[in-house]
Amino acid sequence: MLQQIRVSNGKPRHNLLPIFFVISGILSSHHMRSAALLLSFFSLLSTCAHAQEKIQWDFAFVPYPASIQIIATIENGWHLYALNLDPNIGPVPTQITLEKNNAVKIFNTFEATSKAKQSYDPNFGAEVSYFENTFQASNRIFVKKATTVKGELTYMLCDDKRCLPPKTIPFEVKVTPNKLEKPN
């Protein structure tokens, strides 16, 4: 009864309409409202899950020079706002924080290693900095002993018509000491 169809982006989606008509023929009007509500819920759930596939995050430890590296692959047509964007102009800047960890010395804040684009955005009435296709950032650290560094990343994605709500994701990176490096 559940049919799989392809949509314009090539991803499989399920057509729940045949199930809806079968249910409508069987159930009374009281139960019909519940079935319609359930169908709406699953449609919304499918849409929300699809919306979050616009960016892929990778977190890694680079042993020398020791650093935590973050790489994002952004779906074509979407952009991610820069780390140094003024939060008062509207879009949420990308924010990366690390939890305190006594086994790691953090030298500074995350810095973008990929070049941001800049343009005037009429939606916010301001000049904004953003990344398209890829985003890379790193933060130098000194590892005293093997541990797991935990952090959070907050970001907002937009295309030329709409913005997705800001999202915060936790991340963890296993790090190990490098005998060639000395703390500064």
Residue 26 has pLDDT above 80, yes or no: no
Residue 38 has pLDDT above 70, yes or no: no
73-86 residue pLDDT tens: 999 999 999 999 98
Whole-number pLDDT of residue 140:
96
Question: Does the reported pTM lie above 0.85?
Answer: no
Whole-number pLDDT of residue 121:
84
Burial of 131 (0-12, 13-18, 19+ CB in 10 A): buried
User: CA-to-CA distance for 69 and 60, rounded, in angstroms?
Assistant: 5
Whole-number pLDDT of residue 8:
32
